[in-house]
Structures are given as C-alpha cells and as structure tokens.
C-alpha cells in the first residue's frame, strides 16, 4: 500500500496518490495532471480510478484531463449530475485498488454530491478516510458555495447528519486526509495541519462536538466571509468541462515581441506581472497589475481579475510556464502570450516605465502627524483590521478591489499610504490603484507587522487605543 498527499500550498489544496499492486487511484487531482501520470510510470502502475469528493469551487479539477489521458474512470458520489462521462457511485459502494478497498460515504452538506472515501488496507482494516471538504482539520466545509436551490441553513442541516452518522461513527485511529489545509476559503478557519485522525478531530474540531442541530447550524453558518467571485465559476467548469491543458499552454506560452505585446494591450488585453512584488515596485510597464508568484498567486488572480479577461504576461525568465499553469488551475485560460525577454526587453526598447514608491514604516510614522492630506489605506481583511490598525486608517480589503465603484470612492486628492500585513497584498492593491489613475501613493514595506513595532504610531483595536 502506498499513499502520498500532494499538497499545493498556493491553493491550500491536497490531492492524493494511492497505489497497491499494479493499480492506482487519484483523489481530487489538480488540472495539471502530469505529476500523477509520471508517478504512475515511476511505480509501474495503471491509474484505474479518479475519485472526486465533490465539485470543487476553488480550483479546476484534473478529472476530465486525467481520464482522457489515462482511460481511468471518474467516480463521484450519489446525487451527482454532470455533462461528461463519469460513474455515479452508490452510498456504501466499494471499489478495489489492488488489495485496497475504498468505500463511498455519501456526506451531503458542503454540496449535495459531497462524498468521502474510506480506505481499508490489504488486511481489510480501516486505515484512512479522504474527506474532501466535508471535514477539515479543525473545521468543516462551508455550506454556502455551490448549494443550488438549497439555503446554507438547509445544507448545514444535512452536514450535521452527515457528520453524526458517517464521520463521528468512524474509529478514532483512522487518518483524516482532507482536500484543503490552512488558508483555504472553503472553510472558516482551518487548522495548521494538513492531516489528522478521527480521534483528534472528535476532541478538537468545534463541528464534531455534541450539540443540537440548531446549535450546529448557527455555528457553521455564522461568520462566513464573502466567497471569492471565481468560486461559482470554477464549480460550473468542473461540472461542465473545460479545454485541454495542452491547448491552454500552447496559447499562453506564445512569446510576444514588444510591438506585438503593445498591440495585444491596445486590443484590450490586461498586463499581468508575475514577478516578485518587491521587484515590481522598482519598475514595471504602465497599467500592469502585480500578482507575484511568491504569494497566493492563483487565489488573488481569481479575486481581482475579471473572469475571461484577455491577459498578457510579464514574468521572470523561466517562469512563463508556471504562471500560465497556475492561472489555468482556476480556469483563467485567456492568456494570449508573454513578453519575450520580460521587463528588460521593454526597457531596452526605450518604452515608458512606471514605479511605485516604497517607504519604510518609520517614514510613515514621521509623516502621519504633519501631512494633513495623508490617508492610510489598510487593505487587510476586516477581521485583521478589527484586531488592530492605525488610528484613522481606512479599511479597504484587497478582495473589494475588483469593484471599480469601490475604488472610485478613494479621494484622488489624498496622499495614499497603502499597507497590508506583510507587503504582498499592498503591492497588488497599489498596482490596481495606479492602473485606475492614482499616482500619489506610497507602499509601506513590511506592512502592519513593521508598523506596529513603532511606538509613535497610534494603534487602535475595537476603537480602544493600545499602548
């Protein structure tokens, strides 16, 4: 028996490779499936099944691509309806992979088709359960992402019964392998680990504690942040199908001369610069949006870029393929090529460049008492802002920057000092503001982590000034 968790930190997503004898199965694969095919070749096994726990909302699954290239059968749980060929399993149905067996546990709640797969080893002993978004470490899947005609309360009710009849009844020693880890927006507050045990979760996971159905519904449906706009789009893609990665990569990896690049932009393509955020501020092509590969690249691209928008890329040399791949993972397939030679080629051609002025936190501290036109723009989440912020700062979470009307509320006559927690999100925000014509801005290096170290800066929390 061989089981490997393949964790993609940028998306907080876990896929799983399972093999025994000469057979293998993949659980919740990403769209770029080469890694699974290569693993199968290395182990001299045939991929027999592709087990999907549900229709994912936060990434485009590799189920269709992997089935096309390997001939493996796509398996979903009960109540699944889709526009491609798959096997609809029954609750309790068992599938064999070598001498291993995987039993379908239909666990509606996150979505109606959500199912877990309980794996028993060669001796028939229950070993682990692949829980998808039904059960995370410290959390459960939110019931408001792809609910169809059901309300989040109705799905939460189904989740309550799924957990109590299918999950809590499992033996404590069974390993829990979820589809997501910390940082995922598919839950409210996932724990720091990417796997656990049933016993540990019974002790520590709030959703597995003894409570009434009404209490459970209240806990699971409260405090849900607005889901990223691309989530329902990805769920629909996973249900209906998508272009092959080969087609997407061929188009996206088209090298563009400076002149051709400019023509694409003139025709309506947006410039996406995937270089490190600290490099971007030192010089970039005017109207570029910065989303660096060094952070949660795909997630933020899905949040701030319109779905289907034509894109042309500026990348570090050798990072073109990674940029296109990570965009494709969330269904952003409209990449029309990359600037050959990158930003250096643009500069060598004598084209106009722009910069974002970086300042240290102590410079902000010096300017705060004296600049009457200064406005601090804090682009962290509302919960981060409430936990502590500069007195008088304006909270404008980066997740709201896709709304041009929201940006229009920013006073163009103010001197904007933009910051986030550490510096990554503030550069994205600053680049979007620049694109919208705001040039009197500063990016605060190190973000709030550095700002709060300076005692001269007044910090408040829940309207109470901190020492």
pLDDT digits (tens, 9 = 90+) for 247-261: 999 999 999 999 999
> Which whole number is the average pLDDT over 453-462?
91
* pLDDT of 406: 77
Q: Are residues 167 and 275 in the same domain?
A: no
Domain boundary among 295, 314, 348: 348
Domain boundary among 348, 371, 395: 348
> Which whole number is the average pLDDT over 99-112?
97
Is 344 within the bounds of a domain?
yes
Q: Are residues 175 and 68 in the same domain?
A: yes
* pLDDT of 464: 52
Domain boundary among 233, 257, 279: 233
Cα(384)–Cα(227) distance, integer angstroms: 17
Is 394 within the bounds of a domain?
yes
Residue 403 CB coordination number (10 Å): 12
Cα(194)–Cα(298) distance, integer angstroms: 20
pLDDT reading at 432 higher than 90: yes
Tell me if 400 sits within 8 A of 229, measured CB to CB.
no
How many Å is the maximal CA-CA distance in the chain? 74
Is 282 within the bounds of a domain?
yes
Tokens 């996206």 locate to 252
pLDDT reading at 393 higher than 60: yes
Residue 115 CB coordination number (10 Å): 29
Tell me if 395 sits within 8 A of 375, measured CB to CB.
no
Is 63 within the bounds of a domain?
yes
pLDDT reading at 340 higher than 80: yes
* pLDDT of 213: 97
Q: Are residues 338 and 361 in the same domain?
A: no
State what percent of residues in the chain have pLDDT above 90: 89
Q: Are residues 208 and 99 in the same domain?
A: yes
User: With 0-12 CB in 10 A as exposed, 13-18 as middle and 19+ as buried, what is 270?
Assistant: middle
- The string of DSSP letters for 297-309 reads HHHHHHHHSPTT-
Backbone angles phi, psi at 13, to 5 degrees: -115, 140
Q: Are residues 50 and 184 in the same domain?
A: yes
Cα(321)–Cα(168) distance, integer angstroms: 43
Q: Are residues 297 and 414 in the same domain?
A: no
Range of the domain at 327: 243-348
Is 252 within the bounds of a domain?
yes
Q: What is the gyration radius of the CA atoms in the chain, in angstroms?
A: 24
* pLDDT of 227: 85
| CATH code: domain of residue 110 | 3.60.15.10
Is 455 within the bounds of a domain?
yes
Q: Are residues 100 and 213 in the same domain?
A: yes
> Which whole number is the average pLDDT over 48-54?
98
Q: Are residues 129 and 167 in the same domain?
A: yes
> Which whole number is the average pLDDT over 20-27?
98
Q: Which two tokens stand for residue 166?
A: 């299918």
Report the domain count for the chain: 3
Residue 464 CB coordination number (10 Å): 6
Write the CA distances from 68 to 14, 144, 242, 314, 340, integer angstroms.
Answer: 22, 31, 12, 32, 32
* pLDDT of 465: 52
Give the model confidence (pLDDT) of 198-240 as tens digits: 999 999 999 999 999 999 999 999 988 888 889 999 999 999 9
> Which whole number is the average pLDDT over 346-351?
97
Q: Are residues 139 and 7 in the same domain?
A: yes
pLDDT reading at 467 higher than 50: no
Q: Are residues 44 and 158 in the same domain?
A: yes
Residues 6+ apart with CB under 8 A from 244: 65, 68
| CATH code: domain of residue 456 | 3.40.250.10
Give the model confidence (pLDDT) of 111-167 as tens digits: 999 999 999 999 999 999 999 999 999 999 999 987 677 899 999 999 999 999 999
Is 238 within the bounds of a domain?
no
CA nearest to 31, candidates 46, 47, 52, 49: 52
Write the CA distances from 114 to 74, 106, 149, 263, 396, integer angstroms.
Answer: 14, 6, 16, 46, 35
Tell me if 335 sits within 8 A of 251, measured CB to CB.
yes
Give the model confidence (pLDDT) of 57-102 as tens digits: 999 999 999 999 999 999 999 999 999 999 999 999 999 999 999 9
Q: Which two tokens stand for residue 87?
A: 């096997």
Provide the pairing of β-strand 100-106 with 94-97: antiparallel
Q: Are residues 121 and 248 in the same domain?
A: no
Half-sphere exposure of 405 (CA within 13 A, CB side): 0
Mean pLDDT value across the chain:
95
Give the model confidence (pLDDT) of 445-457 as tens digits: 999 999 999 999 9
Residue 12 region, left (φ>0) first, then alpha (ψ -120 to 50), else beta? left
Q: Encode 198-228: b = buried (16+ Cβ within 10 Å), e = exposed.
A: bebbeeebebbeeeeeeebbebbbeeeeebb
> Which whole number is the average pLDDT over 411-434?
96
Provide the pairing of β-strand 441-444 with 415-419: parallel
- For residue 460, what are the β-bridge partners? 389, 465
* pLDDT of 101: 98
* pLDDT of 84: 96
- For residue 271, what are the β-bridge partners? 312
* pLDDT of 215: 97
> Which whole number is the average pLDDT over 171-192?
92
Residues 6+ apart with CB under 8 A from 83: 239, 240, 241
Confidence label for 409 from pLDDT (cuts 50, 70 and 90) = confident
* pLDDT of 226: 83
Q: Are residues 275 and 140 in the same domain?
A: no
* pLDDT of 229: 87
Give the model confidence (pLDDT) of 292-307 as tens digits: 999 999 999 999 999 9
Tell me if 123 sits within 8 A of 95, measured CB to CB.
no
């Amino acid at each position: 028996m061989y089981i490997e968790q393949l964790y993609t930190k940028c998306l907080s997503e876990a896929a799983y490779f399972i093999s025994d004898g000469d057979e293998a199965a993949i659980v919740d694969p990403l769209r770029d499936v080469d890694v699974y095919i290569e693993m199968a070749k290395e182990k001299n096994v045939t991929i027999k099944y592709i087990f999907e726990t549900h229709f994912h909302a936060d990434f485009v699954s590799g189920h269709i691509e992997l089935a096309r290239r390997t001939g493996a059968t796509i398996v979903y749980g009960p109540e699944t309806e889709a526009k491609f060929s798959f096997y609809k399993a029954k609750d309790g149905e068992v599938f064999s992979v070598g001498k291993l067996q995987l039993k379908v546990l239909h666990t509606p709640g996150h979505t109606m088709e959500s199912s877990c797969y309980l794996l028993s080893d060669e001796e028939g002993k229950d070993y682990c359960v692949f829980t998808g978004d039904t059960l995370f470490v410290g959390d459960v899947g939110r019931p408001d992402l792809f609910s169809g005609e059901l309300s989040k309360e109705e799905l939460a009710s189904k989740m309550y019964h799924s957990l109590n009849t299918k999950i809590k009844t499992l033996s404590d020693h069974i390993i829990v392998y979820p589809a997501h880890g910390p940082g995922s927006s598919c839950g409210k507050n996932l724990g720091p680990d990417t796997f656990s045990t049933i016993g540990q979760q019974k002790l520590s996971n709030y959703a597995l504690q003894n409570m009434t159905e009404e209490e459970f519904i209240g806990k699971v449906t409260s405090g849900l942040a607005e889901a990223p706009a691309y989530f329902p789009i990805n769920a629909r893609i996973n249900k209906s199908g998508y272009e092959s990665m080969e087609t997407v990569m061929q188009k996206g990896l088209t090298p563009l001369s400076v002149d051709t690049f400019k023509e694409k932009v003139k025709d309506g393509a947006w410039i996406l610069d995937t270089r490190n955020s600290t490099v971007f501020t030192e010089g970039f092509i005017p109207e570029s949006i910065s989303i660096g590969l060094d952070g949660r690249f795909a997630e933020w691209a899905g949040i701030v870029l319109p779905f289907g928008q034509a894109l042309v890329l500026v990348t570090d040399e050798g990072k073109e393929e990674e940029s296109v791949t990570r965009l494709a993972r969330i269904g952003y397939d409209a990449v029309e090529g990359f600037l050959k030679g990158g930003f250096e080629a643009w500069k060598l051609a004598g084209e106009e460049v722009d910069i974002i002025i970086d300042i240290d936190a102590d410079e902000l501290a010096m300017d705060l008492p004296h600049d009457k036109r200064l406005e601090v723009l804090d682009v962290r989440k509302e919960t981060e802002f409430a936990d502590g912020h500069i007195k008088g700062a304006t909270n404008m979470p980066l997740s709201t920057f896709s709304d041009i009307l929201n940006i229009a509320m920013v006073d163009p006559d103010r001197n904007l000092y933009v910051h986030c927690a550490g510096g990554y999100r503030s550069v994205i925000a600053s680049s979007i503001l620049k694109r919208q014509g705001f040039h009197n801005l500063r990016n605060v290096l190190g973000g709030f982590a550095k700002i709060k170290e300076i005692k001269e800066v007044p910090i408040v929390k829940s309207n109470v000034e901190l020492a």
